């Protein structure tokens, strides 16, 4: 790693580079960057060889540190969905957390999730911009209550926007949800809570947005933490051997939420790729997008767990990423929940009670 610095007016650039051997796939690397006093914006741009065959994931931690579970240090993650991002006090790229740029050592997290045999050569170009401090970002959270009327409510439990690897803005997604007559959606971006800080800016009168996160644990599978508190971020940088998963599913439960295993058989080998102990979870997503043979395998696994005395929920959700040209369309499947009100608390209570049913878009839209 060889840093090179040069100033351009009020902008200072630092370039760092290195090589990752193919044996280091999924291994975390933290690249330190020393942010001087007076910086009001950070911009990071990555480049690497073999794009399309190599995939380099990226995130960033502030001077508070990157230790396990350190939510104060976490400033965003985009995985392999972006090759550049910015952060300042007022705004940030989707997936990242706006806020004051403190001086000190920040760390850019990089790790490959797909890699050719020759490995991966990478470069990070980091720009420190000094300028007038912008207005501080003010979160605007989704409302927790839409109405107090008991009834059946239709929703989608697994969605993505530009805050992770989705292709819609928040506004586009809520507009489509209303058009499809959904009553609620659960925000589940990969490994970041950035969208949950902004849903209130896209409020629609009769739509409930519930905070969540898709916890994407590199090669050990994905799970949804649904029904989180408005500022909660769930750590994801651990393996089954670390024996930390119970700590985080307990955190979700303590906030009144549910921990759901996502699409366990969606792997290159079409085998169960979920590496954590299923008894620590509340349910399994057995229906993901259009029904297919992989969902059948998910359903069979869930059934085998029931037969062995593990009574957990079966969940259906779209896992939508884009509005058209996909097998994962918003609201298909949709979950119908009987709840005492259209509110975060009541919808979660309805899911936990089992007073729900799943259906395709055609059945659900009436």
Q: 336 with 154: CB under 8 angstroms?
A: yes
Q: Which residues of the chain have pLDDT under 70?
A: 1-9, 355-356, 358-366
Do residue 201 and residue 126 come from a single domain?
A: no
Q: 165 with 79: CB under 8 angstroms?
A: yes
Residue 117: Cβ-neighbour burial (10 angstroms; 0-12, 13-18, 19+): exposed
* Of the residues 79, 104, 130, the one at which a domain ends: 130
Do residue 10 and residue 154 come from a single domain?
A: no
Do residue 54 and residue 98 come from a single domain?
A: yes
Residue 355 has what pLDDT?
A: 66
CATH of the domain at 307: 3.20.20.140
Q: Record the tokens describing residue 2, joined without a space.
A: 């060889």
Q: 20 with 119: CB under 8 angstroms?
A: yes
Instruction: Indicate whether 135 belongs to any domain.
Output: no
Residue 356 has what pLDDT?
A: 66
Residue 2 has what pLDDT?
A: 36
How far apart, in whole angstroms, are the C-alpha atoms of residue 287 and residue 321? 16
Beta strand ranges found along 3-91 (DSSP E): 4-8, 11-20, 29-35, 39-48, 55-61, 74-79, 84-88
The alpha-helical segments, DSSP class H, found in the chain are 170-179, 245-254, 293-307, 344-353, 361-364
How far apart, in whole angstroms, are the C-alpha atoms of residue 184 and residue 142? 11
Residue 360 has what pLDDT?
A: 60
Nearest to 90 by CA among 15, 198, 243: 198
Q: Which residues contact 301 (CB under 8 A, 6 or more apart)?
A: 264, 265, 272, 284, 286
Give me the domain span that covers residue 319.
145-364
Residues written for the chain: 366
Q: Which residues contact 224 (CB under 8 A, 6 or more apart)?
A: 157, 158, 186, 188, 212, 213, 214, 215, 258, 259, 260, 262, 285
Residue 270 has what pLDDT?
A: 86
Residue 364 has what pLDDT?
A: 31
How far apart, in whole angstroms, are the C-alpha atoms of residue 55 and residue 315? 30
How far apart, in whole angstroms, are the C-alpha atoms of residue 360 and residue 284? 18
Do residue 179 and residue 243 come from a single domain?
A: yes
Predicted TM-score of the model (pTM): 0.94
Instruction: Indicate whether 138 belongs to any domain.
Output: no
CATH of the domain at 108: 2.60.120.380
How far apart, in whole angstroms, are the C-alpha atoms of residue 287 and residue 294? 9
pLDDT digits 0-9 by tens, 219-278 = 999 999 999 999 999 999 999 999 999 999 999 999 999 999 999 998 878 899 999 999
């Amino acid at each position: 790693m060889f840093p090179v610095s040069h100033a351009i007016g009020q902008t200072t650039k630092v370039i760092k580079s290195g090589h990752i051997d193919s044996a280091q796939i999924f291994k975390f690397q933290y690249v330190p960057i020393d942010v001087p006093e007076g910086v009001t914006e950070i911009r990071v741009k990555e480049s690497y060889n073999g794009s399309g065959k190599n995939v380099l994931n990226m995130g960033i931690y502030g001077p508070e540190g990157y230790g396990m579970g350190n939510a104060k240090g976490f400033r965003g993650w985009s995985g392999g969905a972006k090759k550049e991002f910015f952060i300042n006090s007022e705004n940030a790229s989707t997936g990242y957390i706006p806020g004051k740029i403190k001086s000190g050592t920040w760390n850019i997290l990089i790790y490959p999730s797909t890699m050719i045999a020759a490995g991966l050569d990478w470069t990070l170009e980091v720009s420190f911009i000094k300028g007038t401090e912008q207005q501080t970002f003010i979160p605007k959270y989704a409302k927790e209550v839409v109405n107090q009327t008991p009834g059946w409510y239709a929703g989608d439990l697994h969605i993505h926007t530009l805050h992770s690897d989705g292709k819609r803005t928040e506004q586009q997604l809520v507009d489509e949800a209303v058009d499809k007559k959904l009553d609620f959606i659960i925000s589940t971006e990969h490994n970041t809570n950035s969208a949950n800080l902004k849903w209130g800016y896209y409020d629609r009168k009769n739509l409930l947005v519930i905070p969540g996160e898709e916890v994407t644990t590199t090669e050990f599978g994905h799970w949804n933490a649904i029904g989180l508190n408005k500022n909660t971020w769930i750590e994801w940088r651990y393996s089954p051997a670390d024996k930390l998963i119970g700590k985080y599913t307990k955190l979700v439960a303590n906030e009144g939420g549910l921990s759901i295993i996502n699409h366990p058989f969606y792997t290159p080998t079409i085998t169960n790729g979920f590496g954590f102990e299923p008894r620590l979870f509340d349910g399994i997503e057995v229906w993901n997008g259009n029904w297919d043979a992989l969902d059948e395998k998910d359903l069979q696994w869930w059934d085998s767990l029931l037969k062995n005395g593990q009574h957990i929920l079966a969940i259906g959700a779209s896992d939508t990423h884009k509005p058209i040209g996909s097998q994962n369309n918003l609201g298909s499947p949709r979950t119908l929940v009987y709840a005492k009100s259209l509110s975060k608390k009541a919808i979660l209570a309805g899911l936990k009670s089992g007073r729900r049913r799943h259906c395709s878009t055609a059945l659900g839209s009436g």
